[in-house]
Structures are given as structure tokens and as C-alpha cells.
Chain A
Amino acid sequence: MSDTKVLEAVERYIRGEMNPDERLHFENLRKTNSEIDQLVVEHTLFLQQMNRFGEWKKFRSTLHDVHTDLAEQGKINSAKLAGKAKVVYLWKRYKRVAAIAASIAGITTLTISALVWSITPQTPAGEIEKLKGEIYSIKNKTNQTDKELNKVKNSITKSDNTIIYKTGGTGFIIDAKGYLVTNAHVVEGARNIAIQNSKGEYVAKVVFIDAVKDIAILKIEDESFKPYSSVPYAISRSAGKLAEPIFTLGYPRNEIVYGQGYLSAKTGFNGDTLSCQLELAANRGNSGSPILNRKGEVIGILNGRQRNTEGFAFAIQGKYIYKVLDDLKKDTSYQKVKITSKSSIGGLDFQQQVEKVEDYIFMVKVN
């Protein structure tokens, strides 16, 4: 008998699947052959352990499901500590530390201000005036230089009518009035920006740039652009879930390209908490592509991949779009920019979602 057959027989014996004749025969064999007897003992132990392991695994997954279900139905206090509870929790946890820190800070401040006050010599008033004057004159000079620079700039843009663009990356609409999001590094140092998809080509300009978060907001400034009626996807404020299936649409070449994968880590390169890691093939030009989940929410903006590795990429988490937008809104002329908070394509499969969103994704070209 071959090893496989022996093992099969042993397993059937342990499970009691043998008929009486077979069983008798096998038991005789067991008595005469100590190797087989040893194997039966060993395998019984192994199978027992396997069975218990299987049950343990199943029970753990039941617990996990139950937790998720109950939390979703609100029957238990959800794992996410919202608002007040979180503050209370943090306060409880750190009150000792906070008290010590506060008292040290207080003492230091008092000492330093006393020191500074005692050391500082009295400054004659005239000198201050003079310094002020100098600052004003410098300011005026800078203003003049700015003006001249602008003049030069305008004359350049006016003189050459055909602008040669290089492809930069991808951007997507966040406000139906014509605001887009892309990566800061895509539009960095750009003089002219145009965006293009199957709907048309428009001129756009950067209205806000945050190099640290690597997010830039563009506005379409083109007479031929007709605002959309609404944006189909929402921007998610929460970080995605591990293993959550995701897809992206972008312009690594002159054609829109679809990519699909899943969220593989909640942080990005070297534990960067700004971003998250995706199992997804990304190419140059995919920068700025939206990452959408099954609920039709943008959970991130694709912004890079590690050098020399393929198959995974990093994305800036969607909540930072809100942060950047808050910064943008400090400028009063952009206070009406609004993000859709409810997705209208949740529950559709990826293919249907793609059909609904592809018109809202543009190639960003810069020169």
C-alpha cells in the first residue's frame, strides 16, 4: 500500500467510516504493524486538534460578524467613539499627563517672561520708526516687482496661442460647478493647466495647493464648460476598511484606464498616517485618480507607489480633501464650494459605477 492509501485508510478508520469487515482487517493490521498503530495514535491527536482548531476559528468569525451586525444596528455602543465619548475617554486617559505638562509649561512661561523683561534694554523710539519705514519701502518694491512680473507673464501667455502640454496626471470633479481635485505634485510649477476627457477639453487654474498633503484644487475656467447637475460619488470622511475592494479610473495614457484591487494597509509608506496602501497596479499619470469603494465613495486620491516595486500603490485618505477644502474656504470667494456627502451610486456593481463616474474624471495636462 502506498503512503497516501495508508493515510486514507487511517482517516476512514478514525472517523468510523469503515464497514465491519474492513474494520476487523484494519485492526489486525494495527496489532501486527506497530508503525501503523503509531500513525493511528498520532493522527487521531492531530485530527482532534484540527477539529478544535476549526471550531475555534468558526466561533471567532461568528463573534466578529455578530459584533459588526450589532454595531451597525446600534444595539451595542459602536467601536467608534464619537464626539463626547472620545473626549471623555482621552481626558480620563491623559489627565495626569496633561496636568503635569500644564504646570511645567506655566512655570517655564513665567520664568522666561521675567528673564526677558529684566534683560531687555529700553529701545529708543526713533529706531523703531525707522525700521518700520524700511519695511514699507521693501514692501512697495516687492509690489512693483510683482506687477512687472505679472506684465511679463501676461505678455507671454498672450503671445503664444498654441500651448504645448505635457500629460501630468488625473483629476476628478468634487463640485458640480467645476472644481476638481488632483495631486499637488501633478500641478507643481505649472504655468498653464488644461483638463480633458471624452466630454471635452477645458482650461483650468489652481485655486489652492497643499504640498504637504499633496492635494491641489483646480477650477475650470472655460466659457465652453457647462456645470454638471450633480456629482454621483461622495467623498468618504472615514478611512477605508482593510481588504475592502476598490477601483480606480485614471489617465496613465491618452485613454481612461480602469484598475481594481483592495485596501491592503491603513497607513502608507513607512507608516505614513496621511495615506493608505492599496493592492493595485498604478502607473505614471495615475496620480490624482480617485479610489472608489463599493458604496460609491471616494476613499482616497492615488498619489504614488514605492520605487522598484509594482502591484501596490499609496493613496491620500479622503478625509484630507475636506481639510484642504476647509483651508480653501478661508478665502471668501470660494465659500460656496461643496462636496456631495451622499453617493448616488452605492450598491451598483463596479461596472455600472464606472459608467456613471467616468465623465467626472479628467486627464490633467500641464505645461
Chain B
Amino acid sequence: MKPENNEKALLQGLAVNDKKAVETIYRENYNMIQALIINNNGSADDAKDIFQEAMIVLYEKVRSGTFELNCLIKTYVYSVSKRLWLKRLQQLNRYSPPIEDPEASVQVDDEIEEHEKRDAEFEMMNKAIGSLGEPCKSLLEAYYLQKQNMQVIAANFGYTNADNAKNQKYKCLMRLKKIFFAHYKNGNGDE
């Protein structure tokens, strides 16, 4: 397989969360990013965080439908990680040395900004679901995230029939939607 085809296949795999593809990209790029972070005032844990965030940025990019990066995966991941790390250093008020570039970089600022916005939304959703408590959290996750059907859920959660489970789910959903839309409107109102 030609290298560019290979890259494209990897990105297509990444878009559908194919573990093999994720693993390949991970294996081929992680050490480079870890070296970058550690040589610039970071720890191995920081490296893991930053690299995984860069992977999410890449994932979001291919999810939006374009498999064209206009550069190698390696370059892209490196550029994003570098940008994220500089930002993190600034936030922490830690001394940030100028990073010399062994790799070529591309412009990724827009994507990072978009990613941060989305990340904040997801974190909010995560918190909202967590704040519902049990059984709401598990019930909603089973239905909306794991897409289990109501009969199965009723059996797993010990409801006598699917209607009872539906009623409970409805109450939980209303609470979640209330939190969600409160944040959503606030979030949009600020802009």
C-alpha cells in the first residue's frame, strides 16, 4: 500500500473508532510527543493528557467528514500537541521555553478553539449526567449512549415492565434536559 493510502485508511478507521487504527496512530506518534513534553518542562502524565487531547482533535476533524489533512498525521498531531502544551504552560504560569521545531508545524489554532468549545460542552454534559445520581445516570446512559432497548433495560434494572422503566427514564430525562438547556442558553447568550 502506498503511504498516502495507508494514512487515509488510518484516518477512516479513526473516524469509526476502530481500535486497530487508533492503536497504530498511537504507537507511531506517542513517543515523539512524550519527548516533546518532557523536554519542555512537562511530565509523562502531562504527555499522556496532551497526546490524548490531540488525538481527540484529530478524531473530531475526521468525524467532520474530511479525510484530507493536507499534511501527514504525524505533523498534524505534533502541531496540535505543541499548541496545546504551550497553552497549558501559560495557564499554569509555568516557565515555557521557546520550543525549537524538529518537526514541521501547520496552523491548527481554529481547530483547537473549536475543540475547546466542544470539550467544555461535553464536560458539562458529563457533569450534568453525573449530578443526576443513580438510577438516572445508568438508566440514561444505557438508553441514549449504549442504545439498549427498553425491554432489556427494564430487565437489567429490575423494573417489573418496560412501561415502568419508561416512566422513570422520562423523569430522569426531564431533569437532564433542564440542566442541559439552562447551560446551552447561557452558553449561547454569552457570545
Q: Measuring CB to CB, which residues of chain A are less than 8 angstroms from any residue of chain B?
A: 3-4, 7-8, 42, 46-47, 49-60, 62-67, 69-70, 75-81, 89, 92-93
Provide the bound-state CA to CA distance between A49 and B31, in Å.
33
- Assess A46 versus B177: contact at CB under 8 Å? Given A70-B26, A76-B27: yes
Q: Which 5 A-B pairs have the closest CB atoms?
A: A54-B145, A76-B30, A4-B170, A53-B125, A63-B52
B52 and A80 form a contact (CB under 8 A): no
Q: A4–B125 Cα gap in the complex (Å)?
A: 23
Q: How far is the CA of A76 from the CA of B52 in the complex (A)?
A: 14
- Would you call B22 and A46 a contact (CB within 8 A)? no
The answer to whether B48 touches A79 (Cβ under 8 A) is: yes
A8 to B31, CA, bound (A): 49
Residues of A close to B173: CB separation below 8 A: 7
- Kindly report which residue of chain B lies nearest to residue A3, judged by CB atoms: B170
Contact indicator per residue, chain B 93-132, by CB within 8 Å of chain A (1) or not (0): 0000000000000000000000000000110011000000
Q: For residue B166, which residues in chain A have a CB less than 8 angstroms away from its CB?
A: 4, 8
Instruction: Assess whether B125 is in contact with A60, with CB atoms less than 8 Å apart.
Output: no
Give CA–CA (A81, B44) in the complex, Å.
Answer: 7
B residues neighboring A (CB under 8 Å) = 17, 19, 22-23, 26-27, 30-31, 34, 38-39, 41, 43-45, 47-48, 52, 55-56, 59, 63, 121-122, 125-126, 144-146, 166-167, 170, 173, 177, 180-181
Of B30, B170, B177, which is within 8 A of A70 by CB?
B30
Give the CA-CA distance A58 to B170 in the complex, in Å. 24
Assess A89 versus B17: contact at CB under 8 Å? Given A49-B125, A54-B145, A63-B52.
Answer: no
Q: How far is the CB of A181 from chain B (nearest CB, A)?
A: 31
Known contacts A46-B177, A53-B145, A79-B44; A66/B26 CB under 8 A: yes
Contact A69 B23 (CB under 8 A): yes
Decide: B52 and A57 in contact? CB cutoff 8 A: no
In the docked arrangement, what's the CA distance between A8 and B48, Å? 42
Establish whether residues B167 and A89, one from each chain, have CB atoms under 8 Å apart when the complex forms. no
* B180, closest chain A residue (CB): A46
- 10 A-B pairs with CB atoms under 8 Å apart are A3-B170, A4-B167, A46-B177, A47-B144, A54-B145, A59-B56, A62-B19, A62-B22, A67-B52, A69-B23
Closest to B177 in A: A46
Known: A4-B170, A76-B27, A93-B41. 19 other contacts (CB 8 A): A4-B167, A7-B173, A52-B122, A54-B144, A54-B146, A55-B63, A58-B145, A59-B17, A60-B52, A60-B56, A62-B17, A63-B52, A63-B55, A63-B56, A66-B19, A66-B23, A70-B30, A76-B30, A78-B44
Cβ–Cβ < 8 Å partners of B126 in chain A: 53, 57
Q: Say yes or no: B44 contacts A50, CB within 8 Å.
A: no
Cα distance, A47 to B145, chains bound together (Å): 10
Once the chains bind, are B26 and A76 in contact (CB under 8 Å)?
yes
Instruction: Determine whether the beta carbon of A49 is less than 8 Å from that of B121.
Output: yes
| Chain A min CB distance to B65 (Å) | 14
Contacts of B23 in A (CB 8 A): 66, 69-70
Q: Which residue of B lies closest to A93 (CB)?
A: B41
The residue in chain B whose Cβ has the minimal distance to the Cβ of A69 is B23
Chain A residues closer than 8 Å to B55, beta-carbon distance: 63
Closest Cβ neighbor of B35 among chain A residues: A77
Q: Which of B22, B31, B41, B43 contacts A66 (CB 8 A)?
A: B22
> Once bound together, how far apart are the Cα atoms of A78 and B43, in whole Å?
12
Residues A42 and B167 in contact, CB atoms below 8 Å apart: no
Indicate which residue in B22, B41, B48, B56 contacts A56 across the interface (CB closer than 8 Å). B56
Nearest Cβ on chain B to A243's Cβ, whole angstroms: 15
Docked Cα-Cα span, A278 to B4, in Å, equals 51
B41 closest partner in A (C-beta): A93
Q: Write the nearest CB–CB distance from B168 to chain A, whole angstroms.
A: 10
Q: Which residue of B lies closest to A51 (CB)?
A: B144
Q: How far is the CA of A55 from the CA of B144 in the complex (A)?
A: 11
Question: Which A residues touch B44, using CB under 8 A?
Answer: 77-81
Contacts of B19 in A (CB 8 A): 62, 65-66
Quick check: A79 and B45 within 8 Å, CB to CB? yes
For A4, the closest partner residue in chain B by CB is B170
- A293, chain B: closest CB distance, angstroms: 22
Out of A54, A56, A58, A70, name the residue touching B27 (CB < 8 Å). A70
